[in-house]
Amino acid sequence: MLLDEAVDALFGPTPDASPAPASVYVDATFGRGGHSRLILSRMAATDQLIAFDKDPDALAEARRMDDLRFSIRHQGFRHLGELGPASVAGILLDLGISSPQVDNPARGFSFRFDGPLDMRMDTTRGQSVAQWLADAEMEQMAEVIRDYGEERFAGPIAKAIVARRQARGPLVSTTELAQLVAETVKTREPGQHPATRTFQAFRIYINAELEELQQALAAALKVLQPGGRLVVISFHSLEDRIVKQFIAGHARAVFDRRAPFAVPPVLQLRSLGRSRPGAAEVAANPRARSAIMRVAQRSPEAFAWPA
């Protein structure tokens, strides 16, 4: 989604003809490599592309990439900070889950298929949703559904999960969870399955997605070089709010009224705006309708306040 727009934003305006030093770019969410392949097509022969992904299936796809400029790490993007300070010319974060993950019943991300209630981005480690639901307290489940799914029926859903667990044992499949939620939630927005928000909440929680996003954004400030670009594509309001507030917080000078003559802090970022998919892309891929892309630039010295 937003494939060309994201890569265009990553590279910025076409540079002049003068030779430039080798640059390092980061595709922090490799997925199935769509963005990485386009980035490589735009890179110079001396540039490097480092990708991150937790999904073993993504790593298998990455091994098919026949380009010496490319490497991938079996890590989440919270590990961006392990790269060298001011060493990266551009970072792309395409958040959420990829279509192959959603469409694979064995991964348990979608209520459209019957599969194990897993939802882990990295199937080699961590606890699945089914394992968590087998022991979680009702209050904790309700909090997760409410905070990460923005679901107003969080309490009744959590109560129904506990009642089901006591009567017939823990939930183990996507179909069981979806049916339980549908029986509990009697009203829903037109065109939306009653379990949509609950599935989103459990996926975000089990993968610590929002915490990882916050860590990655903080790391981006450390590793981006002056003038480097940060491009983030988000798919729901919780993600976009974090990205929006992070960029705004580092792109705005805060004046201390108690010290009016103090030197203002150096601006860390400059916001380059936001965009959404066009009508043609949404028509071709309905999943793109909720995507929002935000772009920021690491402030070079020219953007710093004078001493």
Q: pLDDT of 152-161, one tens digit each?
A: 999 999 999 9
pLDDT at 17: 40
Mean pLDDT over 266-277 rounds to 89
Q: What is the pLDDT of residues 148-201, one digit of tens each?
A: 999 999 999 999 999 999 999 999 999 999 999 999 998 777 888 999 999 999
Banded model confidence at residue 255, pLDDT cuts 50, 70, 90: low
CA distances from 187 to 110, 182, 184, 200, 275 (A): 20, 9, 9, 18, 32
Determine the average pLDDT of the residues in 214-230: 96
> Hey, CA dihedral for 280, 284, 286, 290, is it positive or negative?
negative
Tell me: pLDDT of 18 over 70: no
Q: What are the domain boundaries of the chain? A: 3-99+209-303, 122-206
- Between 116-120, 217-221, 296-300, the lowest mean confidence (pLDDT) is in 296-300
Distance (Å, whole) CA 215 – CA 235: 18
Record the tokens describing residue 292, joined without a space. Answer: 């929002």
Which pTM does this prediction carry?
Answer: 0.89
| Highest CATH level, class, for 122-206 | mainly alpha
Confidence at residue 290, expressed as pLDDT on a 0 to 100 scale: 87
Give residue 180's pLDDT: 97
Average pLDDT over residues 292-298: 96
Torsion of Cα atoms, 209 then 210 then 216 then 218, to 10°: -170
Q: pLDDT tens digit string along 78-124? A: 999 999 999 999 999 999 888 889 999 999 999 999 999 999 999 99
Domain 3-99+209-303: top CATH class: alpha beta
| Mean pLDDT, residues 58-82 taken together | 95
Residue 207: pLDDT band (50, 70, 90) is: very high
Mean pLDDT of all residues belonging to the chain: 90
